[in-house]
Structure 1
């Protein structure tokens, strides 16, 4: 038994010795060649760490400490310190400190202190300082930035991601900018998407052309169309805002679970009549309505939009101030517009039903003086053959139903 154990021990040491010898590195000032193994180091190229390498087509080495230049592709089995430049492909099995430049693809195990630039893509199995490519970048952790034409993918980013189409990461501490979409569960900074931005938790700002989606927002959501979140400690700005709870929503339609929602009918001194939806938080709310003027047959389609603020509210009374814009048109060449500041005291008939009536100060513009019935106190007006403008003191009255 002892003889068998001794043989196993000797074989183990012999095997380890062979491995050590096969991976032992020798220093070389230069490595020149056409393609592997036609070079100054031949088949033993992987056993050398070179200060300088130059290969017409492809090259192989155990490490590089200066410049390594290849016509097509270069492979380094160890670490690279300096620059690796090839027409097509670079591959480093160890750490890269310096720069990798390839016409198509760069690959490395870790590039914490390096810059990777490729025509098509960069693949990093570890950390990366900066990656720039035409199509895609991948890394585990990015401590500087990723810049790409199509997509960036990373576990965590401490810096920035900029992509023509999409950025995907688990967490971002910094900036994410994409032409189409950003997807990251954790954002501590700014997320900007041309179409959409998606996150779970946002500390900072979410901006998109169409939609933002998040669970928790501690900051601001800004979108061209829709913001969606569960809890917002901050502000939502968009045409449509949806949240379970939100401190402040600015939009035409605001669906807040614990907020205010009212559907109403109104009429003003010009006999413009609108069905209007008011929605938002406890104080600030959005206004969106459709309607018409029954005495102006040439202007059958009406739209209303604006913002309101609840000045005070009690069990039997409510006082709001609103800025609203009303627009009538036939969708051809006739139109009437009116922008108003209106003060609306409301009597609560019940918890749900509110009657309101109050004064408004309005600026009116029309292409025809006689298109819409004019009443109220005219403070200023200007008439021309194809134009009518005026500032009028009038009134707004109606009924709101809260639900």
Structure 2
């Protein structure tokens, strides 16, 4: 965030020089500052209401400001701001800021920030930040953040929803494709890749009735982690490969015993045929017994739901199944359900 820091510091210095407004006006209107009712004094005058046809520079705002292109304030801002392109504030901002492109706030921000492209806060951000591309807070933040990219330089408390979320310390929830945090306190990162310093990472090798060789990699935190799962077997003298994704939660039952609750969905690739519907869905309950802090043995039952349109001869399916507890055949595919068993070893690191 170095370049952003330089930009925000520059804004603070440039617009913040003599930033404390020496005058106050209930109303001002301008075309482009200083062409307006406050003239050359606009930068040193705070206003209750400010209307800028293109761009206005003011000493601060107390109630409402609307600008065709940009609103620029060297002093504190509270109330409602709306700009076609950008709201640029050198001091503390409190209220509702709406910008077509960017809210660029050099100091603390509190309230609701909504921008078409980005919300950038130089210090702490508390409240709701929503943008089309990114929300960036240099220091700590709290509340709700929604954008493809959410970055917080310090601690974050609340909910982040985006594609890429990164904080220093998380207390709350991250929902995204990639979630990164240095630590979590009563927090839940939910995504495909949840990278947590000191989090839960495990590699497992296992056997099951329907797929003999299985490899799973898990990442996140113990109470919610992502599972990348792969398997290999042979059916009717031809190769069978499995790849899938899932989520799980580990419950502690004592110092050396844990219970894992997991759900996965896998696509089966038989004889290098990738286009068929061939889905194996599993719910697993595995009992873990730790031989050491980093090594455990596990075993438990599985509930399997298998749906396929792949036929081998006259029969549906490309795996060996025990006796099913339910099956249903339609004109295009067949559904199977059965109770199975799996066992394996787990390495945590």
- 1:153-164 mapped onto 2 (5 Å cutoff): 153-154=104-105, 155-164=107-116
Higher relative contact order (CA 8 A, sep 6+): 2
Distance 1:272 1:132, change over 3 A: farther
Distance 1:65 1:283, change over 3 A: closer
1:278 aligns with 2:218: yes
| Aligned with residue 131 of structure 1, among 66, 81, 96 | 81
Match of 1:344 in 2: 286
Distance 1:331 1:213, change over 3 A: farther
Structure 2 Cα separation of the partners of residues 314 and 171 of structure 1: 40
Shift of 1:100: 1.2
Structure 2 Cα separation of the partners of residues 394 and 217 of structure 1: 38
Asked if the contact 2:295/2:346 (under 8 Å) is kept, the reply is yes
Structure 1 Cα separation of the partners of residues 126 and 156 of structure 2: 10
1:228 aligns with 2:181: yes
| Aligned with residue 178 of structure 1, among 131, 139, 160 | 131
| Aligned with residue 201 of structure 2, among 241, 256, 261 | 261
Shift of 1:311: 5.3
Asked if the contact 2:232/2:239 (under 8 Å) is kept, the reply is no
Distance 1:294 1:226, change over 3 A: farther
Shift of 1:158: 2.4
**Which blocks of at least 5 consecutive residues in structure 2 are unaligned?**
1-22
Asked if the contact 1:78/1:95 (under 8 Å) is kept, the reply is no
1:321 aligns with 2:261: yes
Distance 1:232 1:399, change over 3 A: same
Shift of 1:163: 1.0
For 1:174, what is the secondary structure of its paired residue? strand
User: Higher Cα Rg: structure 1 or 2?
Assistant: 1
Match of 2:193 in 1: 240
| Aligned with residue 156 of structure 2, among 191, 194, 202 | 202
Residue by residue over 1:239-259, the C-alpha shift from the partner in whole angstroms, topping out at 9 and shown as x without a partner, is: 122223xxxxxxxxxxxx1x4
| Aligned with residue 211 of structure 1, among 164, 167, 174 | 164
Asked if the contact 1:167/1:182 (under 8 Å) is kept, the reply is yes
| Aligned with residue 99 of structure 2, among 148, 158, 179 | 148
1:303 aligns with 2:303: no
RMSD of aligned alpha carbons: 3.0
For 2:275, what is the secondary structure of its paired residue? coil
- 1:59-70 mapped onto 2 (5 Å cutoff): none
Asked if the contact 1:336/1:365 (under 8 Å) is kept, the reply is yes
Structure 2 Cα separation of the partners of residues 160 and 213 of structure 1: 20
Asked if the contact 2:208/2:340 (under 8 Å) is kept, the reply is yes
Shift of 1:216: 2.2
Structure 2 Cα separation of the partners of residues 324 and 66 of structure 1: 61
> 122-131 vs 298-307, which deviates more?
298-307
Structure 2 Cα separation of the partners of residues 400 and 142 of structure 1: 51
Asked if the contact 1:308/1:320 (under 8 Å) is kept, the reply is yes
Match of 1:18 in 2: none
Shift of 1:218: 2.4
For 2:171, what is the secondary structure of its paired residue? strand
Structure 1 Cα separation of the partners of residues 132 and 273 of structure 2: 33
